[in-house]
Structure 1
Amino acid sequence: MLTHVSVVLCRPKFSENIGSVARACVNMGCSSLVLVSPRSFDLKKAAPLATSKGKVLIEQAQVHDSLETALKDFHRVYATTARVGKWRKGILNPWEAAQSIMDVEKSTPSCALVFGPEDKGLTNEEVELCSHIISIPTSKEAWSLNLAQAVLIVLYECFKLIPASDCRQIKPGDSRLITRQESMILNQNIREALLTIDFLDQDNPDYFMMPLKRLLSKKDLRHHEFNLLMGICRQIKWMAHKNNQGPQ
């Protein structure tokens, strides 16, 4: 996971935001949080937003009085800022920075992601302590991000480069594609079902089935989808037969 990455919050203003950042960290597999001169930090305010795993991360966080001290042992340091222009050149998008941060071919150096306080961001002097600058693209009309949102975006770009086998599996594997024989069986059952409800012209049903066959052929059907459509056909034929029998 992101074991070589540390999130550094420089002079964070709100305890609640620290809690939300901690939650974002554990969600993305980042196990290191560093706080630099947090203002009026209150664990009771941060914990509800951190959740149980995030609360542990906060309790284990390093706390420093200066950013320079906090960064002294890292190999690469990335400042995040919304303010660009003038001397702030060579700015990376989060996905560009992630390529460097997750470059495991180069011995995976320890990396610090530095985020400034919510109200003013990092000062010029603090940015100068960092080797790289990251800025998150946003709408021109609203470019100020919540602290936890910014942390999550940068970490997620790194997380996307982790092998899928190391991440939580969200969706089960797809069922197999249906065979040509199964496709023909499905078409035949759809034809029979539509005939029972007089949807197809009884005199020439195959002609009117052609558009439907073309529609179904646009997608590679999976076996679970085949079973679903077959079930619908069976239900249509059963209901048609029941209605034809009339009341007993």
Structure 2
Amino acid sequence: MPTGQPQPAFVLIRPQMGENIGAAARGMWNFGLDLMRLTTPRDGWPNPNAVAMASGAGRLLNEAQVYESTAQAVEDCTFVYATTARPRGLTKPVMSPEAAMQDAAKRINDGQKVAVMFGPERAGMENEDIALANAIINVPVNPEFSSLNLAQCVLLVGYEWRRASTAIVHERLDNPNEWATQLEVEKLAENYETHLEQAGFFFPEDKAPHMKTNLRNLWSRMPLTRPDVQILHGIMRQMVRWKDRG
């Protein structure tokens, strides 16, 4: 059964290849979308090639609703977006995927039922399909090569839906260790200064204070963890042992 999470239905209009349907299902489920609708798949339905490409998202294929026409596929929706790269000569709002999915999230939060239509692989939707949409989603692609694979387009819009509907952490440190304290970094700096001075690194003598300041500044710029500090101490310890053996 579908998750029941409020979300837009993704409607694949007359999809041609089962592989693309399966890849689209995989892209949808990557971003938590599981309301797939199909209109008259060229090679019939169900399609084993779609299952092979779904790679873990086969449930979407099993639960996909199949319709005889575009009108039937969206008749229960209050707002419909159509993805197309070509000018259609139809007067409609044209939105980027980002803006469209932000708009869709607001509408769904208000209780509306929303759908996004994706055209067949070869030539996209006909104007008769587009005429049923309330707005057009236009991806800002290279104008000299604007054709997107069906699954690519689904993945792109699904990603923007995720961004619009879920709190995204834009930067994090995976598996962070305990950060080194200022005292631990200071002891590291002192250790290196001591051995570098013994090795004659701070030369000439009148430039030594400036060189030491720069070295301290280098340590402070580095976001060091305690294991980092231990490794750096170990490196210096082994270098000294190697020198003494020599």
Q: Secondary structure at the match of 2:66?
A: strand
Please give the alpha-carbon distance, in whole angstroms, between the structure 2 residues aligned to 1:241 and 1:164: 51
1:159 is displaced (CA, Å) by 0.1
Measured in 1, the distance between the counterparts of 2:47 and 2:172 equals: 32
Pairing of 1:158-173 with structure 2 (within 5 A): 158-164=161-167, 172=174
The residue that corresponds to 1:35 in the other structure is 38
1:33-112 map, 5 Å = 33-41=36-44, 43-52=47-56, 54-84=57-87, 86-103=89-106, 106-112=109-115
Change (3 A) 1:197 1:138: farther
Q: Which runs of 5+ in 1 are unaligned?
A: none
Task: Compute the TM-score of the two structures, normalised by the length of structure 2.
Answer: 0.85
Matches within 5 A, 1:189-228: 189-195=191-197, 197-201=199-203, 203=205, 205-217=208-220, 219=221, 221-224=222-225, 227-228=227-228
In structure 1, what is the equivalent of residue 190 of structure 2? Answer: 188
Measured after TM superposition, the shift of residue 88 of structure 1 is 4.3
Report if the CA contact (8 A) 2:90-2:131 is conserved.
Answer: no
Which residue pairs with 1:5 in the alignment? 8
Distance 1:90 1:36 in 2: 24
Question: What SS does structure 1 have at the residue aligned with 2:164?
Answer: coil
Q: Quick one: which of 108, 120, 123 aligns to 2:123?
A: 120
Are residues 106 and 235 of structure 1, via their aligned partners in 2, closer, same or farther at CA, if it must alter by over 3 Å?
closer
1:203-234 Cα offsets, whole Å, 9 max, x none, are 464332222333344x3x4342x531442233
Q: Aligned to 2:55, what secondary structure does the other structure show?
A: helix
Pair 177,97 (structure 1): closer, same or farther in 2 beyond 3 Å: same
In the alignment, structure 2 segments of 5+ residues that lack a partner are none
- 1:230 and 1:96 map into 2 onto residues whose CA distance is 48
Asked if the contact 1:36–1:64 (Cα under 8 Å) also holds between the matched residues in 2, the reply is yes
Provide the C-alpha distance between the structure 1 equivalents of 2:20 and 2:122, rounded to a whole number of angstroms.
12
234-243 vs 4-13, which moves further: 234-243
Percent of aligned pairs with the same residue? 30
Number of equivalenced pairs: 240
- Pick the aligned partner of 1:26 from 25, 29, 45: 29
Amino acid at match of 1:116: G
> Does structure 1 residue 237 correspond to structure 2 residue 237?
yes
**Distance change >3 Å, CA 89–CA 69, structure 1 → 2:** closer
Distance 1:231-1:104 versus aligned 2 partners, 3 A rule: farther
Question: What SS class does the counterpart of residue 63 from structure 1 fall into?
Answer: strand
Output the amino acid matched with 2:192.
I
Give 3-state SS (helix, strand or coil) of 1:161's partner: helix
